[in-house]
Amino acid sequence: MREEGIDPQNRSDTSDITRREALVTLGVLGGAVAAGATGWGLLEGMVALRQPVESWHKSVCRFCGTGCGVLVGMKDGSVVDVRGDELAHNKGVICVKGSMLPQLTRIPGRLTSPKIRKNGTLVDASWDEAMALVASQFSDAIRYYGPDSVAFYGSGQLFTEESYTANKLFKAGIRTNNVDGNPRLCMASAASGYVQTYGKDEPPGSYEDADYADCFFIFGANPYECHPPIFERIRQRKRLHPDTVIICVDPRRTMTTLHSDIHLAVVPGTDLLLLNAMASVICEEGLENQEFIQKHVRFSDGNKDCDITRFREFLKAYAPEKVERELGVSAQDIRRVAFLFARSKATMSLWTMGVNQRTQGTFLNNMLNGLHLITGQFGRPGATPFSLTGQPNACGGVRDTGALAHALPNGRLVANPGHRAEMEKLWKVPEGTISPRLGLDALALFRAMEQGSVKVALIMCTNPGTTLPSASRYQAAMEKCFTIVVDTVEDSETQRHAQVVLPAALWVEKEGVTGQGERRYQLTERLLTPPAQARSDLQILVDLADRLGHGDLITARSPEAVWDEWRNVSANSLYNFQGITYARLKKERGLQWPCPNPEHPGTTRRYVESDDPFVQKGAGIEFYGNHDKKAVVYLRPYIPSPERTSTDYPMYLTTGRILEQFHTGTLTGRIQELQDAAGPAKIQINPQDAFVLRIQDGDPVEVKSKYGSVRGEAVLTEMSRPGVVFASFYDARLLINFAVADNYDPASKEPEFKVTAVSVRKVAT
Ligand code: SF4
């Protein structure tokens, strides 16, 4: 059988797959796989695994925020193959993780039964026994301590329908705003930056801007490894237009910096100096776009509006010569990059966790957007400020649905009485139902568990036992709370502290929509039956709603019914995607909102008249999210990170992802080929530091901070600049977050994973 609508070039038998096709699929020709890191043996092995296919099905990769479209090959009821969807936005390119999706459906250690902790051990239980216990714990806590004694901690990896339902159940049913999730750890600063600047969240541009830009300003991101198809698009642009300039700002040398024209290796934690210094050069040298500023920009010091003269005055303290020493980048390089940014025909900035996971994350986001606004690098193809996202559904599922402690759907805020009233009407609950009290953001939530004020928490599709900073503190906090963990595989760090563990369906074992980083909603259809007793997260939430007496509120019970309800909620907002139906998503390769009606093609560039249905005719560009329809450029002073090196802690630790593993490795760590390719996580040290510390390659070392310590194997590499050590967080055997600082951005509440002062020493084995 062959599915209708699938590209006929995709053959039903991959035995004839060419070597080039295999490499594109695996990301090699896309520059996505470092051959040295992955190895030809692995690539040949992967190709050899391919089997004949009976039918191909359009789907979406389960892993990262690139949200690649894939075609899933089925035979005899199993997933036997996958390939990049050439009609999707990723143009057929997928990375090595995506190429392993068939193995994902067969990973060892799936959770197959609910479990309850008895005498310290998790033992199998029936669904009824487990859910009755969960419901009684919730009911008792709410009865005796009030609704704010319970919480939901979700994930940018749940389907949108699941996050929407959880948000509605907790905020309009249980009546607590204690709803937060792991996007707080990765995207919160990007969201607060966009909202403060444009009045609305989410990137204005699209991946396709990479096809038009002639200057790429990659800042605190490593797309070569973390968003390979997007970096491949950038490289393709440079292949076709060799004058294209790729600038990368990163304290480390990474695979992205190695493929860039200019690498600015800033000292960790100082890069707001760079952005302010670039703005200073732009203003000093007359590189601003006066017309754009006059029409579309307002300046603010964060408290009150001001004029461009005040902005220029503010920037005088950031002249390149004044900041170069602390920043670690020469004044000459700052000037060069400022000129390139401002004078290129189209500049596209791309950033991610190096910017967001910072105590000044929101300020950095403000200034990145600000540079585009003062230079008019906005709204034309290729000219856009673009925050890349890490998870497949942090944008669509969590930010858009408002499944965060301070938020309500479609950009509404808990703190705004009018927004609460609107949502009460839309959710058909009595006036005053939604609590005016802000909920607890991620760190505050786990601190409340520590203090005993949150008694019961439902944790879905995420592994905070590994992902939170200062991990020992928050693992201990979970011990003080009745935690229910819904997961797909056994034995995560989080489950070790749980009282109930519930087995969840994974990827194509359930149906739902994900919204990736360019406002594109895509449907994953169900192709498999979940193993044993595993259920979709939506089924679990519906069951909980019934048991807590909120069945009348949670009336939408299938993914499509929830989606339709959510579509109609969106119709009352500037996030309107009422035209994105399941029927369209089954046929089309995703659609970008705003998309207000079934005929609308979706919006590639937001705030631009030719694309965006909300821009008034004749306006050209209109920032309709703000009352005066202008975007805001902020005066954002540099404040050094609370983590400063000292005699006791003379180095900086920074953390990140690698190509072959996704996040904490709970899924990709169980795929043998990816595990072999990545190997165990190690502590990367510059050879100069290693020489001083008398550390050799392979030595066991301890990384210690004020917050904790971790031991692992040293690897000496020039990729880390002197004074900086790096470790990835995919390997629980080297749980680097034990040592990571517990600081956060005051506006976004996102932790500063990227800057921790540490000491490093060799230890005995
Ligand atoms: Fe695409 Fe990310 Fe999946 Fe790789 S992991 S195929 S980049 S969505």
- Residue 97 beta carbon below 6 angstroms from any ligand 1 atom: yes
Residue among 96, 97, 255 whose CB has most ligand 1 atoms within 8 A, to mutate: 97
- How many angstroms is it from 27 CA to the middle of ligand 1? 10
Token pair 């080929």: residue: 673
Residue 732 DSSP SS3? helix
Instruction: Tell me which H or E stretch contains 512.
Output: strand 512-515
Phi and psi, residue 346, nearest 5°: -150, 120
Token pair 């997933």: residue: 79
- Residue 67 beta carbon below 6 angstroms from any ligand 1 atom: yes
Architecture of domain 123-186+396-555: 3-Layer(aba) Sandwich (3.40)
- Residue 92 beta carbon below 6 angstroms from any ligand 1 atom: no
- The span from the CA of 251 to the CA of 744, in Å, is 20
- How many angstroms is it from 221 CA to the middle of ligand 1? 16
Query: Chunked in runs of 10, what are the mean pLDDT values of the chain (765 residues)?
Result: 38 34 40 33 44 94 97 97 96 96 97 97 98 98 98 97 98 98 96 97 97 98 96 97 98 96 96 98 97 98 96 98 98 98 98 97 98 98 97 93 97 97 98 98 98 98 96 97 98 96 98 97 98 98 98 98 97 96 97 97 98 96 98 98 96 94 91 94 97 97 98 94 94 94 97 97 91
Cα→Cα distances 719→258, 622, 753, Å: 10, 43, 19
**Assigned CATH topology for domain 188-388:** Dimethylsulfoxide Reductase; domain 2 (3.40.228)
Pair 105, 554: CB distance under 8 Å: no
- Residue 134 beta carbon below 6 angstroms from any ligand 1 atom: no
- How many angstroms is it from 617 CA to the middle of ligand 1? 38
- Residue 176 beta carbon below 6 angstroms from any ligand 1 atom: no
- Residue 94 beta carbon below 6 angstroms from any ligand 1 atom: yes
Q: What is the DSSP string of 296-312?
A: HEEEE-SSSEE-HHHHH
**Assigned CATH topology for domain 651-762:** Barwin-like endoglucanases (2.40.40)
Strand 651-656 versus strand 709-716 pairing type: unpaired
Phi and psi, residue 276, nearest 5°: -65, -35
- How many angstroms is it from 490 CA to the middle of ligand 1? 24
pLDDT in tens, 10-44: 333 333 333 334 433 444 433 333 333 333 333 33
Amino acid, res. 363: F
Using H for helix, E for strand and C for coil, what is the string for 574-629? CCCCCCCCHHHHHHCCCEECCCCCCCCCCCCCCCECCCCCCCCCCCCECCCCCCCC
pLDDT at site 549? 98
pLDDT at site 720? 84
Atom nearest to 94 CA in ligand 1: 6
Using H for helix, E for strand and C for coil, what is the string for 233-257? HHHHHHHHCCCCEEEEECCCCCHHH
**Pick from 159, 86, 77, 52: nearest CA to 460:** 159
- How many angstroms is it from 194 CA to the middle of ligand 1? 25
Q: Do domains 123-186+396-555 and 188-388 have the same CATH topology?
A: no
The pTM for the full model equals 0.93
CB count within 10 Å of CB 306 equals 18
Residue 212 DSSP SS3? coil
Phi-psi sector, 644: left (phi>0), alpha (psi -120 to 50), beta: beta
Protein residue with its CA nearest to atom 3 in ligand 1 = 98
Pair 374, 288: CB distance under 8 Å: yes
Pair 221, 255: CB distance under 8 Å: no
- 637 cis-preceded (ω within 30 degrees of 0): no
Strand order in the sheet with 69-75: 55-60, 69-75, 78-84
pLDDT at site 50? 65
- Residue 404 beta carbon below 6 angstroms from any ligand 1 atom: no
Please give the class, per CATH, of domain 56-104. Answer: mainly beta
Q: What is the distance between the terminal CA atoms of the chain, rounded to a whole angstrom? A: 57
Instruction: Tell me which H or E stretch contains 542.
Output: helix 537-547
- Residue 329 beta carbon below 6 angstroms from any ligand 1 atom: no
Domain locations along the chain: 8-50, 56-104, 123-186+396-555, 188-388, 651-762
- Residue 98 beta carbon below 6 angstroms from any ligand 1 atom: yes
pLDDT in tens, 598-656: 999 999 999 999 999 999 999 999 999 999 999 999 999 999 999 999 999 999 999 99
